[in-house]
Structure formats: structure tokens, C-alpha cells
Amino acid sequence: MPHMIIGVLKLILASLILGAAMNLLGLSAERILAGFGMSPADLWLLLQRCVVWALPNIGLGAAVILPLWLLTYLFLPPRSGYDE
């Protein structure tokens, strides 16, 4: 668990340093999106469309994968190496 916390803190620090450097160069999220011909509202709509598309597909895949995983898990032989 402590390794995960340290990893998250490193990620936050790297993001802060990169964000400060980009700010010094005059870059912002709006300017980067404008370079792609998008606005923040356009990006939000695109993310919403992606979620609306992905959630039913994840559910459909899980309806097949989870029972297969459960059957495989139930019929696997017991692991050796457990000393009781």
C-alpha cells in the first residue's frame, strides 16, 4: 500500500511540474483544444458520447465473461503449497 501512495504522490508532483512549465510557455487547455478545433464543451460532449457507447458494451461483455470466469474458477484443481 505505501508503494501505491508514493506512486500517486510522484504522479501529482510530475503533473504539477509539467503544468507549471506549460503555463510558463503560455499553453492552456483551451489553447490546446483550439488547436484541434474543439472547445471544452465539445470535449465534454465527446466524453459523454464515449461513456454512453462504452457502458452497454462493458455490460454485454461482462454478461459473458463473468460466468465463464466463475465456472473456470470453480472447476480448477486446488492449488498446492498450502501448509495447514
pTM score above 0.95 = no
Residue 81 has pLDDT above 80, yes or no: no
Q: What gap in Å lies between CA 80 and CA 36, rounded to an integer?
A: 56
**pLDDT for 60:** 97
Phi/psi of residue 32, each to 5°?
-65, -45
The predicted-structure confidence for 42-64, as pLDDT tens digits, reads as follows 999 999 999 999 999 999 999 99
Dihedral sign, Cα of residue 32, residue 34, residue 36, residue 42: positive
